[in-house]
Structure 1
Amino acid sequence: MTYLHTPRLMLTALTLDHLDDYHRVYGDPRTWEHLPSGRHVDRAQSARAIERSMASRREHGFGHLAVTLREPVGELPPGGFIGTAGAAMLPFGAWNLGYRFLPEAWGRGLAGEAAAASIEAARATAPDVPVTARVLANNPASIRVLERLDLELAWQGVSSTAPTGPDDTTHLERLVFADRPLDEAMLREVIALG
């Protein structure tokens, strides 16, 4: 079933049928240039991420979606999986917007197009829930995507001075964007995610 479409994109329910394509994107070191430790090193890691998205859709009505092209874009053919976009519900009641695309799809405005549709869908699903997005300060392309959307910068800084473990990223400088003002407690929760 199609969830969303834009002039150039189809965004459909992400399932384990997408595992190979998903892992091709999330396992590609180029898509993790700004956070190499985030790269999926095996298919099981990608499967768990897809399962979390499926759970978000079941529990909250929305999650991350598979993104394919409706028409050719440059050398990219229609119908091919180019990445994911969507929003997942955080434990404290805020949407977390996210997107990741094949490097071949970069620089064409596709991430912004998919992210805008994802924000609209998250708002339609739960209008009273804020949409947030976190981005590393060393990722200017993703920052530009967020600045072009209906989001405002809510915070910039680091959550901690040093990592507490191998997967902790709270010591890295991040920007937090939101579609509305966040109360102090919620902003602290988003910041603590790293």
Structure 2
Amino acid sequence: MTHSIQATLTERLTLSRPTERDLPELHALHADPEVWKHLPSARHTELADTRELVDRYLAGWEVNGVDVWVARDTATGALVGMGGPSLRGGRAWNIYYRLAPSAWGRGYAQEIVAAAREAASATGRDLPLVASLLEHNEGSRRAARRAGLELVWRGPDAGNPDPDAVRLLFADRPLSEDTLRLFAS
């Protein structure tokens, strides 16, 4: 993996800080019903929803020097998705990955998680890496396990309009009660 101020390169991906130019494609990704089949209520219906998300990630970049990247196929420049480490409450790195359906099952999440692990470590903050996902999202669950993360918590998904939804937390180490509450509430 190579890093520069502008981008991180994995075997097949160029991971870069989001820009205004990325917004239309990122909105299309986040508005795609297939991407949100596990949580339809989170689907972006307005460009403002995506802008708010990107602004949150850009704020993380400003404060922490790293946050979620735009992931593009290095060979073609095509959008693969978004992903990376986002600091949560100063207690843990939330490892995020949201991929376009055309990129599912191709190992891209593993490249993003490996880069996120390296980027989080490079900050000098020895904090847990956590993947928070819905139990019925088999693809995300497989990706978390393949990344070497272990299931550390299972419980209700607070705030989900589906009262039967179950949230899973995978992590690279046991989590403190405070960190569990941060992710589980």
Q: Give me the TM-score of the superposition, normalised by structure 2.
A: 0.90
Work out whether residues 123 and 131 of structure 1, in 8 Å CA contact, stay in contact via their aligned partners in 2: no
Percent of paired sites with the same residue: 37
Per-residue CA distance 1:27-65 (angstroms, 9 max, x = gap): 101000000001011101100100110000100111110
Counterpart of 1:140 in structure 2 is: 138
Shift of 1:148: 0.5
Stretch deviating more after TM superposition (139-148 or 126-135) = 126-135
Shift of 1:168: 5.5
| Matching of residue 113 in structure 1 with residue 106 in structure 2 | no
CA distance in 2 between counterparts of 1:27 and 1:21 reads 10
Counterpart of 1:50 in structure 2 is: 54
CA distance in 2 between counterparts of 1:114 and 1:5 reads 10
Question: Aligned ranges for residues 43-192 of structure 1 at < 5 Å?
Answer: 43-71=47-75, 78-158=76-156, 172-192=165-185
Secondary structure, counterpart of 2:125 in structure 1? coil
Q: Which amino acid aligns with 1:52?
A: R
* Deviant stretches of 4+, over 2 Å: 167-171
CA-atom RMSD, angstroms?
Answer: 1.8
Q: 1:37 to 1:159 in 2, by over 3 A?
A: closer
Work out whether residues 16 and 51 of structure 1, in 8 Å CA contact, stay in contact via their aligned partners in 2: no
Gaps of 5+ in 2: none
Per-residue CA distance 1:73-119 (angstroms, 9 max, x = gap): xxxxx111221011211125221111111111111111221122112
Work out whether residues 4 and 11 of structure 1, in 8 Å CA contact, stay in contact via their aligned partners in 2: yes
CA distance in 2 between counterparts of 1:25 and 1:126 reads 32
- Matched residue pairs, number? 181
Secondary structure, counterpart of 1:52 in structure 2? helix
CA distance in 2 between counterparts of 1:109 and 1:150 reads 14
CA distance in 1 between counterparts of 2:121 and 2:153 reads 21
